[in-house]
Amino acid sequence: MSNQYKIIDEKNWKRAMHCKVFRNSVEPAFCVTFELDITHFLEAVRRDKISFTMAMIFAVSKCANEIEEFRCRFVDGQPVLFDRIDTAFTYLDKESELFKVVHVPMEKTMEAYAAAAEKAAEEQTEYFTGPLGNDVFQFSPMPWVTYTHISHTNSGKKDNATPLFDWGKYFEREGRILLPFSVQAHHSFVDGLHVGKLAEKLQHYLNKLGYGTDAALTLQVLEERFTVCKAEDFSQLDLSGEYCFTARTDEEYSVVCESSKVPPNITEREDGWRCLRMMGPLDFTLTGILAKVSAILAAAGIGIFAVSTYNTDYIFTKEENFDRAIRALGEKGYKISIPCRGI
């Protein structure tokens, strides 16, 4: 155990009672299994010639490190918070068909981690190099079978709060590549809420890594109808709707808004626009995302205009072309999210 930690002040810790209750449970750990969409992540690691296993270990560890509850442990009977958590994973020896446990510190980049992890795994000759420290995430992938639930051995040590991450054999469903993924965590520190946060962070990170491929985003259909208009000024804007985009130049005041919220002081307008929103937020370092969508729609003979915000991009087409736009993007592998309305 080499990473730094601080002892948690239980008197002023909001989770003190929850920790005590679950710490005394017969089985204080719980396990959750869910599916991850790895369609574009898998394309990205294959493109970059990175080990899928090492890339997944890095991705999970990076995201889990960003959630404080996953860095909590018990040390000498006291709850502590580590500043960083490293990795330990099982690695199969193909000749003996026995696994060894390999400990590898985290790196700043996936490429650096994957290289270090593969080197350590190949060079280690012992199956076990000694007891693992508290400051690791444990990984034990099982890529031979697809599963919906998994359970683990119990050491009998109730203060063992090291999270354990697993995944099974990925599979295809409706054109997407899905991975069964499991999280086992100590309930003294981690609740279902935190597993949900990890699932969201991890899926977003996996998607982001795949943005360099031809189809890398989910596009959300907005139900609203939009109007593009030119106004005298912005003094009469109606900002009570969900969407209103403005632009001012030395020549004009432009507004894109819901058709029911058009300001009265407009001088020109064009109705009948529909919108697809790229599910974000998008990282500013990403390139070519909008250009790829535009190229697909141009090839289908569909004209667009786009509006970019801090978080993401919005793509507008005329209503008569909207269904064709959805089909064209779907055929290229983009997921289209259509909101459901209750009855």
pLDDT tens digits along 233-246:
999 999 998 999 99
pTM: 0.66
Q: Which residue do the tokens 């593969």 mark?
A: 118
pLDDT at position 47: 82
Q: Report the pLDDT averaged over residues 8-31.
A: 94
Of 305, 256, 308, the closest CA to residue 284 belongs to: 308
Encoding tokens for residue 152?
């683990």
- Rounded distance, CA 170 to CA 165, Å? 15
> Is residue 342 in some structural domain?
no
Mean pLDDT, the chain, as a whole number?
91
* Domain count of the fold of the chain: 2
The verdict on 176 and 197 lying in the same domain is yes
- Going 320 to 343 to 341 to 338, the CA torsion angle's sign is negative
Q: Is 245 helix (H, G, I), strand (E, B) or coil?
A: strand
Beta-bridged to residue 103, according to DSSP, are: 88
Helical H segments across 85-179, by residue range: 110-123
> Is residue 16 in some structural domain?
yes
The verdict on 91 and 124 lying in the same domain is yes
User: Of 55-59, 96-100, 213-217, 264-268, which gets the smallest average pLDDT?
Assistant: 213-217
Long-range contacts of 196-201, Cβ-Cβ distance < 8 Å, separation of 24 or more = 197/67, 198/63, 198/64, 198/67, 198/70, 199/34, 199/36, 201/63, 201/66, 201/67
Instruction: Identify which has the larger pLDDT, 102 or 289.
Output: 102
pLDDT at position 104: 96
Answer for the pair 28, 188: CB distance below 8 angstroms, yes or no. Answer: yes
pLDDT tier at 285 (50, 70, 90 boundaries)?
low
We report the CATH number of the domain holding residue 258 as: 3.30.2130.10
Rg (CA), the chain: 25
> Is residue 343 in some structural domain?
no
The verdict on 260 and 116 lying in the same domain is no
Encoding tokens for residue 190?
């981690």
**Does position 10 have pLDDT exceeding 70, yes or no?**
yes
The verdict on 265 and 183 lying in the same domain is no
Q: Among 157, 178, 212, give the residue marking a domain's end.
A: 212
Per the structure, the complete domain to which residue 255 belongs is given by 218-337
The verdict on 222 and 197 lying in the same domain is no
Encoding tokens for residue 271?
């109705």
Q: Report the pLDDT averaged over residues 115-122.
A: 96
> Is residue 309 in some structural domain?
yes
pLDDT tier at 184 (50, 70, 90 boundaries)?
very high
pLDDT tier at 210 (50, 70, 90 boundaries)?
low
Encoding tokens for residue 244?
């209103």
Q: Among 187, 212, 237, give the residue marking a domain's end.
A: 212
The verdict on 169 and 237 lying in the same domain is no
Count CB neighbours of 85 within 10 A.
22
Answer for the pair 177, 39: CB distance below 8 angstroms, yes or no. Answer: yes
The verdict on 198 and 278 lying in the same domain is no
- Rounded distance, CA 199 to CA 108, Å? 21
**Does position 1 have pLDDT exceeding 60, yes or no?**
no
pLDDT at position 342: 44
β-bridge pairing 218-231 and 253-258: antiparallel
The verdict on 203 and 243 lying in the same domain is no
